[in-house]
Amino acid sequence: MPSRRSAERHERNIRDLRALVDAGSRSVVRDMAASGLPTTRRKYPLPCIGHRSGKLTVTGYMVGARGVRALIVRCDCSPDEYTVDHHNFKDFKSTRCNLCAKQAASKKRYWQYAEVMPNDAHRTRLLNRLSAAITRCHNAGNSRYIHYGARGIKVCDEWRNDRAAFLKYIQTVPGWDDPTLQMDRENNNEGYAPGNIRFATPTQNTRNRRKIAELEAELARLRSVISRAPT
């Protein structure tokens, strides 16, 4: 799956190329024959306009002082153009955009659980909810960690280590197959574990949040702990 940095580079690639096209830059060539650039004596001939590799179609060329620097391509899933190295295109290393690669990686990641939960939509939705719970409970860098992991809310080890076990259990909870319901904890002071999971409406979920009195008591406790801590 493409990393966040890779996705940012891809978006920057699209923006930079769009700016050159809008400015009418000479570095963007749509017809090599009309450009006057040499096309012979190349060890690997350039693909022509319209040539395909996977989901990518060649729509132009990026040229510089030494000739073609990159290919301009468009993926089947989007009208946006971006550039790829012509060697990667030739060797089938660039065959789809980042979005398509991410979707393919997601399907590959979840296919192993199809036997436990055959429905793709339910399986993906519930595994995403489990992943979100793990992130806010176990990743101190998450913005919501302070409301979960920092106060001891965890996802049980069984589900973190075996997501198939989570899928097997969750199908015993009423409402698991209703996409309009949210996965919630019955006891808001305990973690995500068998026996403490329910599916609730957004209104029910909101009502299950900690009360002001509980928050004030927790704040007073933390202040007391800090005041007794050695300096």
Q: 183 is written with which tokens?
A: 């996965």
- Amino acid letter, 190: E
Say which residue the tokens 């920057």 belong to: 12
Average pLDDT of the segment spanning 85-90? 86
pLDDT number for residue 208: 55
Residue pointed to by tokens 């860098």: 141
Q: What's the average model confidence in pLDDT over 149-173?
A: 94
Which among 98, 167, 97, 157 is positioned nearest to 127, based on CA atoms?
A: 167
At residue 168 the predicted structure's pLDDT band, cuts being 50, 70 and 90, is very high
For the ranges 71-75, 90-94, 158-162, 168-172, the lowest mean pLDDT is seen at 90-94
Q: What is the DSSP letter of 67?
A: E
CA-to-CA dists, residue 65 to 45, 49, 86, 126, angstroms: 18, 21, 17, 53
End-to-end CA distance of the chain: 46
DSSP code of 155?
B
| pLDDT for position 170 | 96
Quickly state the pLDDT bin for 1 (edges 50, 70, 90).
very low
Tens of pLDDT along 36-81? 665 555 666 788 899 998 899 999 999 887 778 899 999 998 899 9
Q: How far apart are CA 5 and CA 9, in angstroms?
A: 6
Least confident of 4-18, 34-48, 174-188: 34-48
Does 17 score more than 90 pLDDT?
A: yes
